[in-house]
Amino acid sequence: MPWRRVGNFSITPTTGPSKSKRLGRNCREAGNSNSRSGSSSRIGCCTARHSQASTISRESGPPRFRRSPNSAKPSWSRSSPRAKSWSDRGTGAVTKTPSVLDPLQVPLLGTFLVEASAGTGKTHTISTLYLRLLLERELTVDQVLVVTFTNAATAELRDRLRARVAVLLKALEGHDVADPEVAALADMRADSVQRQRDCARLRAALYAFDLAPVHTIHSFCQRMLQQYAFEGGRVFEADIALDADRWIARAVEAYWLSCIEQPAGLEPLLEPNEDGAQSIPSLLDAGARKCLEDLARLVLRYPELHIEWPQGKDPRVRAWRKFLREGVERVRAAVAKERARRRQRSFDDLVQELREALRAPTGDQLARFIRQQLPAALIDEFQDTDPVQYEIFQRVYGGQNGCSLFLIGDPKQAIYAFRGADVFAYLRDKRDAQCHYTLARNYRSAPNLVRAINVLFSQQTQPFLIDGIDFYPVQSALPEIPEAALEIVWFPLEGNRSLTKDWGERELPRRVAADIARLVARAPQFEGQPVKYSDVAVLCRSNQQAAAMQRALRGLGIPSALESEFSVFDTPEAMELELVLAAMLQPTSHGRVGAALATLLMGLDAAELVAVEEIDSAWDEWSQRFYTWGEIWRRSGILRALQQLFDDQQVLQRELERIDGERVLTNLRHLGELLHQAATEHRLAPEELLQWLGVMRREKELRSSDLGLGEAAQLRLESDERAMKIVTIHKSKGLQYPVVFCPFVWDQPSPNRSKLLLYHHPQRYDLRVAVPPIENEAASGQAELEDRAEARRLLYVALTRARYYCVAYWGSFASIRKSPLFGLIHPELEAERDTASRGRKKKTDLTDEDIQRALERLEERSQGAIRARRWQSPAKTERPLETSSSGDPLSHREAVRCFDEIRWQVASFSSLVHKAEELPPLAREGFDHDPVPVAIADREIPPDPRLAFWRTLPAGARTGEWLHAVLEHLDFAHPIAEQRGLLERVVERQGLSLSLTDLERTLQAVVDTPLCDGLRLRDVDRARRVNEMGFVLPAALSGATRPRGIEPADVAAALAAKGSNDFVRRYAMRVAKLPFRSWQGFLKGYIDLVFEHGGRWYVVDYKSNDLGPGIRDYGSERLALAMEQHHYVLQYHLYVVALDRFLQRWLTDYDYEQHFGGVFYLFLRGMDPGNPPGTGVFFDRPSRELIDALSNLFRHGGDR
C-alpha cells in the first residue's frame, strides 16, 4: 500500500448548515427529541447522532476550527485497501467505521466512545470538551467528573484543565491567545451579555477548582460510597489497606498447612507425581500453593469469573479440584473476616462495593443521586478499565437522558493487563456503541515517522490480532523533517546459525550503546537543534533489560537516568548507608567502622584504608568522627546527621564527578527522606531505625505493609539535564522523546509463569480461567492469541514514543517468529507460523535474504520513511568521555607470606543459624530478636479470652524489643502497678495504643508464674540479676598452630554424643544442616537475664513469639517444637558455655553441678499463674559432659 495514500480522509456532509452560535441549543434539542422517542439501555446509546462533521485533508496543516454543515449520517471514505465502512468482525456484530471527532462540534448530550491513537491529543481533547461543558451546559466544576487511572495522571490532568480554563477566560476578556481551539470557542460566544456571564462562570470555576472531582477510579468509588452510604445500603468507614495482598497470602498458607496436617480427601495429592509439566502438582509442592493463591486473587478481583475446573473421575483430579474449590472459599471467608476485623478495604474492594451497591434494590436510586451530582463524566484511559468498572459507568450513565459521558481511550495501547486492566471491557462497549469517534491527526511525531507507523501496521488486515482492535491511519500535524525516520537495524546470521537470546541479551546492549554514541557524535539536527544525550530514550520491556542497557552505557561513559519500578532499598547506596549508620551507633567496633570506611560513600582509597588499619591515631580519629555523627543523630535526627556526614566527607562534590553520580545522590537523598519519614511515623529510636532499614532491604513483602512506606520507596528519576533516559515500555506510555531506541523488539514475550490459563470468550468477551490439567485446546489457543496481541500493543506503544527518530533492532534470532514485530515485517509468514505451531506444516527457516527482501519492501512502500540497515561492526568505538592515555603496564606485588584458609569472623547466634542477608543489623551484632512478623496458620481455633490482651500485640521484632526493654527495667519483687511511670514512658516512646491497666495485669501475671520448684521471677532480687549480659567467646583460636574452624557437623556431633535427653540428641540432626561454613574467631552475644537464687545461677531468655490463639499452644509440646524450629536449643547451649566460662573465672570454688541451676525460655504470651503448670515455660539443664565438650570445641576447633 503506497504511503501517500494512507490516512487520506474525506468526510462528506449530506444535510444543510447550522449556525455556530446555536450549537449548544441544538445539542440540547437533540437530547430532548431523543428522550421523547425513548432511549436504549446500552451504554453506547447517544442522544444526538453525528450532528456535525469536520473536513480534514492532508494539505490543511494545523486544524482550523470552524463550523461545517450538519450531517445526519456522514459517509467516510479512505483510500487504504483495507478500509471498510461496515465490516463483519466474526463476532456476530457489525462494526461501524468511526467518524473523525471535532471536539468543538460533537454533541454534548449522550454517550460517546472516542478512540485516540498515540499522539493525537487525547488530553487536549478532554480539556476542550471540559470547557464546552462549563460554557454550553453551564455546569460548575464540581458537576463534571473526570476519571483517569493513576495518581500522577490525575494531578497532571487537573493542572491542564485549570490552565485551559484560565486561557479561555483570558480569551473571553478580549486578549489574544495562542490556543486555536480556545480562540475558536471564544469566537462562538459573540453576544456581549453572554460573554459577561461566561467570564463570571469561569472566574467562579477557577475560584472553586479545588472542588473539581478529578479522580482515579478508586478515589471516585471511595467518595461515592462515603457520600451515599445510606442510599447504597451500607455504612462505609474504612481505611485503605496497603497490604491487602498479604491477607490472601496468609489465608492461602493457613489453608495449605491445614490440608497437609489433615489431608482428608486429598491423600492422592501426597503421592509422587510423574505426569509431566502440565500435571497436577503434589500438595507438598510450592506450586500447589502458588496455583491456589493465583486463583484466589482472580476470584476476589473478579467475583463473577468463569472457572473451568478439570474434569474426570481420576482420584488425583478429584482431590485437586476439591483442594482448589474449598481453598478459594476458605480464602474468601478469611479475607472477609480480616477486612471486617481491621475495618479496612483494598482498592479492589472499593470498586466492587460500589458495583454491588448499584446492583442492589436501591441501586437505581443511588445511580440517580450520582447523576444529579455529576451529570457529566469524562473517562480517560478507558482501555485500562475492567468489567467491574465498566459496569459501574454503565449503570450510572447508560441510556440516560440529560447526561454527558465521554469514554476516551485507545485499545491499541492497552498494556496493563498485569494490573487488572481488561481491554475486552473496552471492546464490549465498542461493540455496543452507536456513537464512535476517532482522532485523526498526530501532534507528536514527524510526518515520516507517522507514515512509517501507518505502513508498518497496515501490513496486515488485523495487525492487533483481536477483533475490534482496529488500526486507523493518522496524519501528522507537524511540518516535514527530512532526517526523521523509523530505522530498523538488523543482525545477520553468525555463520549458518541463528542468533540466540543469550547472545542478544549479552551483546546487543553494548552495540546499541555504540550506536547511540555515534548518533550523538554525528549530531543530526531536528528543527535546528543537534541531538544530545538528553534527547535520547531507550525503551525496554523489563527492568533487567533496562539495567543491562545502563551498564553498557556506563561502560562507554554515557550519562543515563534509569526510571523503573525498582525500589531504592535494592540499590548499592542502601547497603552502604546501612553500613555507615551501623558504624555511627557502634563507633568502637573495629568491624563496623572498617566496613563503613570501605564503602564508596566514604570515599577512601586503598592507601587511606591501609593507614587506618596500621596507624592507631588514624583509627582513633575515624572512631571519633563516627561517634560525633552518631551523637548528632541521637540529638537532632537522621537528616541532620546525614547532612553533617555529607558535608564532612564532601559527598556531593565527589559523587558528581562520577558518570552515575546524579543517580547515587538521588538515591541517597531519597533514602534520607524515607528514614526520616519512618522515624517520625513509627517513632523509632536510632537503633530501631537501623533495624527498620535492614528489614526494608531484605523483606520485600513488608515494604507495602504498615511497617513500610508503600510506593514512596519506588526508585526516583535522577536529574535528567544531561542524561539520556532508560525507561520500561509500560512507564513510557503517555510520554514522548525526540529520539527513541528499541533494542529488544526482536525478543519474544515473557511466558506466563502461572499454571492457570486466563483468557476471554471470543464472542461474549467474558473473562475465564482454566485450571490445570488443561485439555481445552481452544482455550489454550485463545490465551496464546491474547498474549501475542498484548505484545503487539506493547510494540505499538514503543514505536510511537519518538518525535523525530526511532531505531528498532531486528535480525536472525532463533525466536524471531514469536516476536511481536515478526508479523508486521513478514505478514505472509505469520499464517505459516500459526499453521506450523498446530503441527500441520513444518515452518521454513528464515534466511538473511528473506529478512533483507522484506525490509526492502517496507522501504519501498514507505518511500523512505522506513530505513533498513544491516549491522556492521565499526572499526573502532570511541568513548564519548576522555579516558587515561597512559600506556604503562600495570604490575602487582608478589605474595611472600601464607594466608589462612579460614578467615577470622565475629559471629552471633543469629549469623550462625541464618544466612547473612536475612539478618537485621542488631541480630548480626549479637542481640537476640524475635522473628519479623510472619503468618500464623489459622486452624479455626477460637481465640482464648485469657490471651485477649496478647492478641492486640503484633508478633515480631518491634513487640519483642519493647517488652525486653520493660522487663529489663522492672523490679520483679515490687508490684507492677507501683511502676506505672516506667510503663507510661515506654508506651509513649514507642507510640503504642494499649491499656496500661491491661499491661500491668499481664506483666504481673508473668512475674507471678511458677518456673520450677516454686521459683518465680518475683522472687529474684534486683541486686542479684544481670540484664543483657554481654559476652565475647573465643572460638578455635588456641591449641594447634593452625586449628581447623568450627563446622556445623562438629556442634551436631557434640550434641548427639553428650545430649542429656532424646530431645537434644534428635535436634542435633538439624544443627548439622546449618548454613555457616568453617568458622574461627569470636562469638558475640547478649543474654536477656542472668540471675542467682539459692546459690545457683540461671539463664533466662524472653520470647514474645505468637504460637497460636489458645493456651494449649504454649504447652510443653508446642514449646519444644518452637525451640527446635528457631534453633533456640543451640542458642541456650551457647549461652551456658559463655556463662560457664564466666563463673569459672569469677567463683573461686565454682562447680557446675553445684552452682548452675538451668535455663528458662519464657514464652511470655503463655505465662499466667492460672494456666496449667509449665505453660509458657521451657526449662532445661544441660549435662556437665555436654558443656565441657562444647567448651573444648570452642577452645580448639574441630578435629582435622
% of the chain with per-residue pLDDT over 90:
21
Neighbouring residues of 146: CB distance < 8 A, sequence distance ≥ 6: 126, 130, 157, 158, 161, 212, 213, 214, 215, 377, 378, 380
Question: What letter represents residue 224's amino acid?
Answer: M
Max mean pLDDT range (247-261, 492-506, 752-766, 1093-1107)? 1093-1107
Q: Decide if 618 contacts 611 (C-beta within 8 A).
A: yes
Distance CA 141, CA 166 (A): 13
| Confidence label for 143 from pLDDT (cuts 50, 70 and 90) | very high
End-to-end Cα, the chain, rounded Å: 81
**Rounded average pLDDT over 7-29:** 34
Q: Decide if 580 contacts 645 (C-beta within 8 A).
A: yes
CB atoms under 10 Å from CB of 509, counted, come to 24
Q: What are phi and psi of 478, to 5 degrees?
A: -90, 160
The pLDDT of residue 752 is 58
Which DSSP string corresponds to 650-703?
A: THHHHHHTSTTHHHHHHHHHHHHHHHHHHHHHHT--HHHHHHHHHHHHH-GGGT
In this structure, the chain runs to a length of: 1200
Candidates 156, 109, 176, 155; CA nearest to 136 is 109
Cα dist from 1038 to 76, 905, 1136, 1149, whole Å: 94, 15, 20, 25
Candidates 382, 428, 383; CA nearest to 405 is 382
> What tens digit of pLDDT does each residue of 857-882 get?
998 998 889 999 888 766 544 444 43
Q: What are phi and psi of 807, to 5 degrees?
A: -120, 125
Q: Decide if 693 contacts 573 (C-beta within 8 A).
A: no
Cell numbers at 367, concatenated = 445511580
Same fold yes or no, 7-213+374-444 and 926-1196: no
Residue spans of the domains in the chain: they are 7-213+374-444, 239-342, 485-565+721-870, 568-713, 926-1196
Range 485-565+721-870: architecture per CATH: 3-Layer(aba) Sandwich (3.40)
Q: Decide if 1109 contacts 942 (C-beta within 8 A).
A: yes
Question: What letter represents residue 68's amino acid?
Answer: S
- CATH number, span 926-1196: 3.90.320.10
Q: How far does Cα 234 stand from its chain's mean position?
A: 32
Range from 696-700, 1062-1066, 1173-1177 carrying the lowest mean pLDDT:
696-700
CATH T-level assignment (fold) for domain 7-213+374-444: Rossmann fold (3.40.50)
Candidates 579, 532, 441; CA nearest to 56 is 441
DSSP 880: S
Distance CA 1148, CA 1157 (A): 18
Distance CA 514, CA 1101 (A): 61
| Confidence label for 451 from pLDDT (cuts 50, 70 and 90) | very high
3-state SS class at 795: helix
> What does the radius of gyration of the chain's CA atoms come to, in whole angstroms?
36
| H or E segment and range at residue 423 | helix 423-432
**Rounded average pLDDT over 48-71:** 34
> What tens digit of pLDDT does each residue of 967-979 get?
988 999 899 988 8
Which sign, positive or negative, has the C-alpha torsion 575, 577, 582, 588?
A: positive
The pLDDT of residue 1012 is 87
Grid cell 490471651 is found at: 947
Distance CA 163, CA 147 (A): 18
Q: Decide if 262 contacts 390 (C-beta within 8 A).
A: no
The pLDDT of residue 739 is 94
CB atoms under 10 Å from CB of 1126, counted, come to 15
Angle at 716 between CA 740 and CA 640, to 5 degrees: 150
What is this structure's pTM?
Answer: 0.63
Grid cell 549461652 is found at: 1135
Q: Which segments of 863-979 does DSSP mark as H helices, in order?
A: 909-913, 921-925, 948-951, 957-969
Beta bridge partners, 1161, equal 1101, 1178
| Number of Cα atoms under 13 Å in the Cβ half of residue 588 | 0
CB atoms under 10 Å from CB of 901, counted, come to 10
Distance CA 987, CA 282 (A): 47
Name the pairing type of β-strands 767-770 and 757-760.
antiparallel
| Confidence label for 1175 from pLDDT (cuts 50, 70 and 90) | very high
The pLDDT of residue 833 is 56
Q: How far does Cα 1152 stand from its chain's mean position?
A: 56
Cell numbers at 1038, concatenated = 588456641
Burial of 827 (0-12, 13-18, 19+ CB in 10 A): middle
Q: Decide if 1000 contacts 980 (C-beta within 8 A).
A: yes
Helix axes 848-862, 447-457, angle to 10 degrees: 130
Distance CA 667, CA 718 (A): 8
The pLDDT of residue 1200 is 47
Instruction: State the average pLDDT for the chain.
Output: 78
The pLDDT of residue 938 is 43
* Residue 1193 confidence (pLDDT) above 90: no
Indicate the CATH number of 568-713 among 3.30.420.40, 1.20.1080.10, 1.10.486.10, 1.10.287.610. 1.10.486.10
Distance CA 116, CA 123 (A): 10
Distance CA 70, CA 15 (A): 6
Cell numbers at 567, concatenated = 525500589
Q: What are phi and psi of 1063, to 5 degrees?
A: -60, -45
Question: What letter represents residue 306's amino acid?
Answer: H
Cell numbers at 23, concatenated = 450549537
| Confidence label for 1030 from pLDDT (cuts 50, 70 and 90) | confident
Range from 323-332, 711-720, 842-851, 1071-1080 carrying the lowest mean pLDDT:
711-720
